[in-house]
Amino acid sequence: MNTTIDWAQLQLQAKAASDQAYAPYSHFPVGVAILASSGRIYTGCNVENASYGGTTCAERNAIAAAVVAGERQFAALVVYTPQDKLTPPCGICRQVIAEFFTPDSPVASCNHLGALQSWTLAELLPDAFTPTYLAASTKVKS
């Protein structure tokens, strides 16, 4: 996969997505932009719920938007939060990112000051449980 990553564009779109965040409980808006291997960018924001556990993060909403558009492979993910501290994806989102991104994929965080920090997915979630393990278990059984 050789998709050129336009970090400035991803940051802009992640910031725009954060403006749509529905976060009346945490007051912590988050926006995410992901680059699919098709070259298209998809975005998501966090959507909270009065039943707090019904909240979904910006990362998972961006991935869902891309999947419903037919995407399955991705090159990069950028999180935006309007605060000094750079925000990495939560644990649940790291697992969902691992379903579709390769271990060497860049996962980055940016903020309102224009700062950007990048990790690989493997740094954020080493030894991830991925679909390959399910395939192995199916093979053993059949």
Ligand X SMILES: O=c1ccn([C@H]2C[C@H](O)[C@@H](CO)O2)c(=O)[nH]1
- Which residues of the shown chain bind ligand X in the complex (CB under 6 A)? 23, 26, 28, 30, 46, 48, 55, 57-59, 79, 87, 89-90, 93
Q: Which amino acid is residue 94, in one-letter code?
A: R
Distance CA(44)–CA(2), nearest Å, equals: 24
> C-beta of 55: minimal distance to ligand X in Å?
5
71 is catalytic: no
Complex with ligand X: residue 75 or 79, whichever CB lies closer: 79
Burial label, 114 (beta-carbon count in 10 A; 0-12, 13-18, 19+): exposed
Near Zn ion by CB under 5 A: residue from 93, 97, 108, 125 = 93
Dihedral sign for Cα 36, 42, 45, 47, please: negative
Whether 92 and 124 have beta carbons less than 8 Å apart is answered as: no
31 binds, options Zn ion, ligand X, none, Cβ within 5 to 8 A by partner type: none
54: left (phi over 0), alpha (psi -120 to 50) or beta: alpha
Q: Assess 90 for contact with Zn ion (CB under 5 A).
A: yes
Strands 74-81, 106-111: pairing is parallel
> C-beta of 134: minimal distance to ligand X in Å?
26
Q: Assess 57 for contact with Zn ion (CB under 5 A).
A: yes
Complex with ligand X: residue 71 or 89, whichever CB lies closer: 89
> C-beta of 142: minimal distance to ligand X in Å?
38
- Residues forming contacts to Zn ion in the complex (CB under 5 A) are 57, 90, 93
Catalytic residue positions? 59
